[in-house]
Amino acid sequence: MSGTSLDGIDGVLSSSNKTLHAAFIAFPDALRAELLALQSPSENEIHREALAANQLTTLYAACVQQLLKDAGISADQVSAIGAHGQTIRHRPELGYTRQIINPALLAEVTDIDVISDFRHRDIAAGGQGAPLVPAFHQSVFGSATQTRVVANIGGISNISILRPDGQVTGYDTGPGNLLMDGWIHAQRGQQYDDSGQWAASGLVLPDLLVELMSEPYLALPAPKSTGRDLFNTAWLTQHLQHFGSAAPADVQATLTAFTARTLANAIQRDAPGAEAVYVCGGGAMNTYLMRLLQEKLACPVSDTGVLGVSPQHVEALAFAWLAERFCERLPGNLQSVTGARGPRLLGALYPA
Ligand SMILES: Nc1ncnc2c1ncn2[C@@H]1O[C@H](COP(=O)(O)OP(=O)(O)OP(=O)(O)O)[C@@H](O)[C@H]1O
Ligand SMILES: [Mg+2]
């Protein structure tokens, strides 16, 4: 899995939804910059996209090799690789989404079956193609007695609302880490705000928060999904134009509050009876963000670690689960989440 934060590749070797081994490969700066550049229209995109996909695939393969080495197993002991690829555009309203990767190359290099392109079939069936993780969240974190919310805070945030009767809904709530990451990178050259310490040193700017909350996407009903297509540097620059004299740490505090507020509002609107919120994704490491989220919600907020799954492994496990669904010829999407016309088999196979 490599998500919208553009931090790198999270890999897991899993069996029956359990992590046996995990590996993380950070993107080299040049690849991260190119993947960011490919998020918006630019010169000679087809050629550059293909080269970036090949380079990314080499790192996916290195991640797989690392997992095999750590586990002391060989390629023929692995059923399949679920390879999400890197989203560079997500435009379900126009009938497409784009996760770049070269699955043929990954199959060639690893000699393992590769399942890729998980989102298109759902979009072809009229769905958003995202989020795809709620079905997995239900299978691992669902409860027969409690309404639970799983909040994945990656680059973008998404929630899964898991009801005791098995009903599942969910959608992308808006930004996760990407605005905070972008701001600290622009101001201080850091990849992310460790534990939210810089944000915690600032003060939330109420007027800026109101301005950010005016984004129309936030009020849209589900199904909905979003990405860097909307929440990007241009979006932030536009909203900051009247706040040129604000202290950078105060902007960081406000961006963190914005992520917390949008998540909390979505949970209050669509899961008012939630009895527990479990956070996964890198945002779970942002102590300040977690504190703000807890302050805004009446029910306890913790990370998925308390349910036995490290927050950093959840999304990668979900794509292993989706690959397993494909191998068993079972649907991976949920109509109640993506709005597709029906359950669909997700993915395409590139055999070893
Ligand atoms: N110690 C930390 N303190 C604060 N933030 C952190 C910390 N560690 C990671 N993060 C944040 O988590 C991000 C990575 O999260 P993650 O890998 O879950 O996102 P992602 O790649 O966008 O995944 P996805 O799109 O699948 O949800 C980093 O970019 C950073 O913002
Ligand atoms: Mg990541």
Q: CB–CB of 303/279 below 8 Å?
A: yes
Q: What is the whole-number distance in angstroms between the Cα of residue 352 and the centre of ligand 2?
A: 26
Q: How far is CA 147 from CA 26, 129, 201, 210, 314, in A?
A: 35, 24, 35, 30, 19
**Angle 236-132-121 from CA coordinates, rounded to 5°:** 105
Concatenated DSSP letters of 238-290: HHTTT-TTS-HHHHHHHHHHHHHHHHHHHHHHH-TT--EEEEESGGGG-HHHH
CATH dotted code for 8-127+342-350: 3.30.420.40
Number of helical H runs and strand E runs in the chain: 13, 12
Amino acid identity of residue 287, one-letter, is: T
Share of the chain above pLDDT 90, in %: 100
Q: What is the whole-number distance in angstroms between the Cα of residue 155 and the centre of ligand 2?
A: 8
Q: CB–CB of 300/276 below 8 Å?
A: yes
Q: CB–CB of 33/39 below 8 Å?
A: no
Q: What is the whole-number distance in angstroms between the Cα of residue 106 and the centre of ligand 1?
A: 25
Tell me which residue has its CA closest to atom 24 in ligand 1.
3
Pocket test residue of 7, 24, 173 for ligand 1, highest count of atoms within 8 A of CB: 7
Helix axes 134-141, 314-327, angle to 10 degrees: 100
| pLDDT bracket for residue 336 (50, 70, 90) | very high
- Quick one: DSSP state of residue 164? T
Please tell me the distance from the alpha carbon of residue 242 to that of residue 13, in angstroms, as a whole number. Answer: 48
Q: What is the CA radius of gyration of the chain?
A: 19
Tell me which residue has its CA closest to atom 18 in ligand 1.
281
Please give the number of the atom of ligand 1 that sits closest to the Cα of 8.
21
Q: What is the whole-number distance in angstroms between the Cα of residue 11 and the centre of ligand 2?
A: 10
Residues 275-287: pLDDT tens digits? 999 999 999 999 9
- Would the CATH topology of 8-127+342-350 be identical to that of 134-307? yes
Residue with tokens 């002991």: 77
Helices (H), 142-231: 178-188, 197-200, 206-213
Residue with tokens 């709530």: 173
Q: How confident is the prediction for the chain on average, in pLDDT? A: 98
Across 149-185, b (16+ Cβ under 10 Å) vs e yields bbbbbbbbbbbbbbbeeeebbbbbbbbbbbbbbbbbe
Q: Going by CATH, does the domain composed of 134-307 fall within 3.30.420.40?
A: yes
Residues 169-218: pLDDT tens digits? 999 999 999 999 999 999 999 999 999 999 999 999 999 999 999 999 99
Q: Model's pTM, two decimal places?
A: 0.98
Q: State both tokens at 237.
A: 């620059």
Judged by its nearest atom, the ligand closest to the C-alpha of residue 153 is: 1
Residues 49-69: pLDDT tens digits? 999 999 999 999 999 999 999
Please tell me the distance from the alpha carbon of residue 223 to that of residue 115, in angstroms, as a whole number. Answer: 25
Please tell me the distance from the alpha carbon of residue 21 to that of residue 315, in angstroms, as a whole number. Answer: 14
Instruction: Show me where the domains of the chain are located.
Output: 8-127+342-350, 134-307
Judged by its nearest atom, the ligand closest to the C-alpha of residue 192 is: 1
Q: CB–CB of 197/252 below 8 Å?
A: no
Tell me which residue has its CA closest to atom 17 in ligand 1.
282
Q: State both tokens at 116.
A: 């890729």
Pocket test residue of 160, 285, 313 for ligand 1, highest count of atoms within 8 A of CB: 285
Residues 101-135: pLDDT tens digits? 999 999 999 999 999 999 999 999 999 999 999 99
Please give the number of the atom of ligand 1 that sits closest to the Cα of 181.
31
Please give the number of the atom of ligand 1 that sits closest to the Cα of 316.
26
Among residues 109, 93, 187, the alpha carbon closest in space to that of 101 is found at: 109
Pocket test residue of 5, 84, 160, 263 for ligand 1, highest count of atoms within 8 A of CB: 5
Concatenated DSSP letters of 56-82: HHHHHHHHHHHHHHHHT--GGG---EE
pLDDT of residue 291: 98
Residue with tokens 């669902």: 142
Share of the chain above pLDDT 70, in %: 100
Residues with CB under 6 A from ligand 1: 1, 3-5, 7, 10, 152, 154-155, 177, 181, 192-196, 281-283, 285-286, 315
Backbone conformation region of residue 94, classed left if phi is above 0, alpha if psi is from -120 to 50, else beta: alpha
